[in-house]
Amino acid sequence: MKRRKFIKNTSLSGLSLVTANAFAKSGIMQDNNLNKIVKPIVVATWRVPNATKKAWEILQDGGSSLDAVEQGCRIEEADINNTSVGKGGLPDRDGNVTLDACIMDKEGNYGSVVYLQDIVHPVSVARKVMENTPHVMLAGKGAKQFALSQGFKSENLLTESSKKAWEEWKKKSEYKPIINIENHDTIGMLALDKNGDLSGACTTSGLSYKMQGRVGDSPIIGSGLFVDNEVGAATATGMGEEVLKTVGSFLIVELMRQGKTPQQACKEAVMRIVKKSGNRYKDFQVGFIALNKQGEIGSYCIHEWFNYQVYAKDENKNYKSDFYHKP
Ligand code: ASP
């Protein structure tokens, strides 16, 4: 498949053409009238139909985008078969399951937890940080203590199968991130509700077999997630270190503010990572999704097989992202 050529023109006609292309690809037809907003809509990284379904039900009932992204993320956090998020997440190289998550609302409020252990729903703890503390981020022991004080229960998150996989890994102890480890990964979710308000959330167990104490992009404001209710929202998956160095999600929102479509903005953020990495990009994956105030979506990644889930217009569909590396 030839790489799509994107129009650089940021005039309104240029915009609607590019947007129409992105939507034709995703199967969601965008109205020619830019004032016609596609809402509600929820978009998430990877193949997570149950998560977007949950979010969609909340949005359809007139619920807020904030409730939708939180509840949607919780579905994956509770799924022990998803080994990159919540319970069942693969541990660090010492066998600890450590979780990172964040959430951001339409007012630009933000809450996050990093290196949280023994709590199944870090996204909900992040929301409590946002709503019930004067802070935006809590880490490690303090985050857990806070979670317990808010009524969350402590439990062992290392499942038998994740423990087995870790024990297998320990035989060689080879630290080599694998591109697209599986068909689901960090979940980043963005939603636009019936009121036209945007929110986002992101939750992960981070890179498997990471060094103890390692925190990636997912819970870091502007890197793994950013929401500006005037413009749009973006979230990331993949090699967190690379996303952090370019503050990818904030970059995408700022590019959209300057007139780029979500698709153009995601592509530019990926290209920045690719260019800065020299040849290293061949060994890691980064994928972004974005949603703007009009309900237009975009997605771009380095390597093939990143996909994303969209629930809009009563349809819950998975789409393959466009990608850079076409050897
Ligand atoms: N971005 C996550 C991290 O670096 C991992 C991933 O999405 O695979 O922690």
Residues with catalytic roles = 186
Span from the CA of 203 to the centroid of ligand 1 (angstroms): 9
Burial 116-126 (b: 16+ CB within 10 A, else e): bbbbbbbbbbb
Distance CA 5, CA 159 (A): 45
Span from the CA of 83 to the centroid of ligand 1 (angstroms): 12
Res 173: pLDDT: 82
If pLDDT is split at 50, 70 and 90, which confidence band does 37 have?
Answer: confident
Span from the CA of 217 to the centroid of ligand 1 (angstroms): 7
* Residue 113, SS3 per DSSP: strand
Res 178: pLDDT: 61
If pLDDT is split at 50, 70 and 90, which confidence band does 275 have?
Answer: very high
Residue among 115, 116, 186, 223 whose CB has most ligand 1 atoms within 8 A, to mutate: 186
Structural domains of the chain sorted by starting position, each given as residue range(s) with its CATH number in brackets: 6-320 (3.60.20.30)
Res 23: pLDDT: 47
Res 7: pLDDT: 25
* Residue 270, SS3 per DSSP: helix
Ligand 1 atom at minimal distance to the Cα of residue 206: 9
Residue among 217, 244, 289 whose CB has most ligand 1 atoms within 8 A, to mutate: 217
- CA 25 centroid distance within chain: 20
Render pLDDT for 148-201 as a digit per residue (tens, 0 to 9).
999 999 999 999 999 999 999 889 887 766 655 444 479 999 999 999 999 999
Q: Give residue for tokens 């022991």.
A: 141
- The pTM assigned to this predicted structure is 0.89
pLDDT over 80 (residue 285): yes
Q: Between 172 and 50, whose confidence is greater?
A: 50
Per-residue tokens: 70: 């939180």
Per-residue tokens: 180: 């697209």
Pick the closest to residue 267 from 221, 306, 241 (CA basis): 306
Of 12-21, 70-79, 182-191, 280-289, which gets the smallest average pLDDT?
Answer: 12-21
Instruction: State the angle between helix axes of 49-60 and 65-78 in degrees (0 to 180), rounded to the nearest 10.
Output: 150
Res 174: pLDDT: 77
User: What integer best gives the mean pLDDT of the chain?
Assistant: 88
Output the ligand 1 site: residues, CB below 6 A: 84, 185-186, 204, 206-207, 216-218, 237-238, 240
